[in-house]
Structure 1
Amino acid sequence: MSRPPDDTPLPGGYREMWRIAAPLLLSMASYTIMQFCDRVFLSRYSSVAIQAALPAGSLAHTLICFFQAVTGYASTFTAHYHGAKEPEQCVRSAAQGIWLALASWPLILLLIPVGLWIIAMSGHAPDVAAAERTYFLILMVGGITVPLNSAAGGYFMGIGRTTVNLISNAFGCSLNVALNYAMIFGHWGFPEMGVAGAAYAT
């Protein structure tokens, strides 16, 4: 009798690649999804808030993304050691990425005056510029979470368990939606914070 075809994906084949890549395609959009949700809620709050969120959010991401990219290299080293069957080195690579992310926080904070100068030079209306400063400052002070997420997620990317990244980011996006509703409009015991609430939720 002929044997049924083996349905196990070949190592390095397109099915294995898709199994690893598909969760990444979705999870890497999480930051964009969070900011999109901010804007949807803020559009229902005030026109000033929605005008401020897009430029301030884009500016904060521009200043933070370098550190996100650098700490993301933890996935490259983790994947190398995972292929070499050296799990201890995988953990060490991820730990170095996390330490690097922590070290980047002071540098992110040092970029705040640069961002505030750009906002001041933008020529936006005073009320919009004030909301931009609020949104931008909160995102920058909490900016450590972006490279930290990149470094920690790099470990699971490196060992091929990208579904963990997807679940984590899906939870983060869901929490962001709930906190946006609560903190922008002042529900569930939270004070009404408007654009500041959107930034805290993100």
Structure 2
Amino acid sequence: MSASAHLSALLRLGIPLIGSFLAGFLLGLTDTIMLGWYSVEALAAATIAGSFFMTLQVVGSGFAWAVTSLVAEADARSDTVQVRRATRMGMWLSVAFAAAVMPALWFSEGWLIGLGQTPEVASGAQTYLRIAGWGLFPALLVRVLASYLSAVDRAGPVLWVTLFGAAINVVFNYALIFGNLGLPELGIQGAAIASVLVQVAMLVVFMGYAQRVLPQYDLFRSLWKIDASALRQVFALGWPIALTSLAETSLFTAASTMMGWLGTDALAAHGIALQVATGTFMVHLGLSQAKTVRAGNAVGRRDAAGLILGGKVAVGASFAFSAATMVVFFGVPDLFVTAFLDPDDPARDVIIPIGVSLIYMAALFQFADGLQVICLGLLRGVQDTRVPMWLAALSYWGLGLPAAYVLGFVLDFGGVGVWAGLIVGLLGAAVLLVWRFTARRGVYITA
């Protein structure tokens, strides 16, 4: 297969996945924008709460990523039994994870204060997390079903269902945050309730589609029965992915905590810049999951040449998008910041310059961020997850976190220094993960 054919296949699968990740991102973006219009205090509380909630959601999605790889390989071998077993056990492990972390969300005010947040922000964050936490169960099940559908070349419905969720989230937020459509004004509680309702609605639609349109996989047959072999496979592949995701997302969560030390205005500006950077990251993440599927298919077909060329094509696509993103971020940074703020908010003039400086920093880490997540997707597709976990943890926590603290507080560069530390961590991960795949590319198909 030529490079152009690889690119065409990558984009055919990747574009719907990118769209679905962007639509999912809109769920959080809607909360951020509407709460920003509601009050800066609500925005600050939702920023810190959302950072921790997203950390847990991404970590819990490690089992969904494992499902992607295992199902893609099994589907390439036409093994429908393994497809069903891997997906079902991914759902089991996701529910177990959500149940395990729920107490931390319920009793979050104390440890948020212990991390240096103000009592007002910590209280508001706990209010949000006590409600939104229940949405972790359907949210993780949605991720497993989306991974399953993507791996069996049904990425289109993943996009449409996620767009449906983003659309109804706007309506629910409009009604529940501000007290419209005859409902009470609930503020940050309304945003949390809306998120839970949206995740439940998406789960119902995904389950209905999987059962009706793909009956050959009989996905929900004997759903309550454990399959020990498939459970071990999903767990063995998924827990390193989960810890890798924990290392990365907790780096950003730690950055949010540090920004909270700089005050409410700095934390609000950080929340805005982080939302913008997360939006562009969704494109790289969609390409990464597409590459996981393509790599898993290559392993199932024993296609070593296709695996290597496909990886190069995915990196090139990510680099092209990063270059375009940098141009936009450097060109109109204030446009992104002002979109999140009420024109009449008295803190607006303080937040805008902080936010613009952080948008500049987000532009600088585009290439590194894209490259490291593409490499992670490629390595997951060939079921190499344990060593990449250690390499990523070393980069994020051994390099990125200390650099963020030293640059932000010891050298007194403030928020810009914290974000410079993020660049150090992401760049280190990109270099080490490229080395990992390059050093072992000859053994992935033969192993």
Q: What is the TM-score when the length of structure 2 is the normalising length?
A: 0.41
1:29-68 per-residue CA deviation (whole Å, 9 max, x = no partner) reads 3443211111111122122111111111011111332111
1:75-108 per-residue CA deviation (whole Å, 9 max, x = no partner) reads 1111111101122332222112112222222112
Q: Which of these residues, 89, 93, 97, is aligned with residue 100 of structure 1? A: 93
Unaligned 5+ segments in structure 2 are 196-447
Residue equivalent to 1:152: 145
Q: Contact between 1:30 and 1:169, CA under 8 Å: does it hold in 2?
A: yes
SS where residue 85 of structure 1 aligns?
Answer: coil
Q: Contact between 2:106 and 2:130, CA under 8 Å: does it hold in 1?
A: no
Residue equivalent to 1:70: 63
In structure 2, C-alpha distance between the alignment counterparts of 1:111 and 1:31, rounded to whole Å: 24
Q: How many Å apart are 1:114 and its aligned residue?
A: 7.0
Q: Contact between 2:68 and 2:147, CA under 8 Å: does it hold in 1?
A: yes
Q: Does 1:191 align with 2:214?
A: no
Matches within 5 A, 1:1-202: 13-112=6-105, 115-202=108-195
Q: Contact between 1:186 and 1:193, CA under 8 Å: does it hold in 2?
A: yes
Unaligned 5+ segments in structure 1 are 1-8
Structure in which a larger fraction of residues adopt helix: 2
Between 51-60 and 30-39, the greater mean CA deviation after superposition: 30-39
Q: Which contiguous aligned blocks of 4+ residues in structure 1 show a shift greater than 4 angstroms? A: none
| Larger RCO (CA within 8 A; separation ≥ 6) | 1
The count of residues paired between Structure 1 and Structure 2 equals: 193
In structure 2, C-alpha distance between the alignment counterparts of 1:172 and 1:46, rounded to whole Å: 24
In structure 2, C-alpha distance between the alignment counterparts of 1:111 and 1:132, rounded to whole Å: 12
Q: How many Å apart are 1:171 and its aligned residue?
A: 0.8
Between 62-71 and 189-198, the greater mean CA deviation after superposition: 62-71
SS where residue 160 of structure 1 aligns?
Answer: coil
The code of the aligned residue for 2:13 comes to I
Q: Contact between 1:102 and 1:148, CA under 8 Å: does it hold in 2?
A: yes
The alignment yields a C-alpha RMSD, in angstroms, of 2.2
Q: What is the TM-score when the length of structure 1 is the normalising length?
A: 0.86
Q: Work out the percentage of aligned pairs sharing the same amino acid.
A: 27
The code of the aligned residue for 1:133 comes to Q
The code of the aligned residue for 1:38 comes to D
Q: Contact between 1:23 and 1:166, CA under 8 Å: does it hold in 2?
A: yes
SS where residue 185 of structure 2 aligns?
Answer: coil
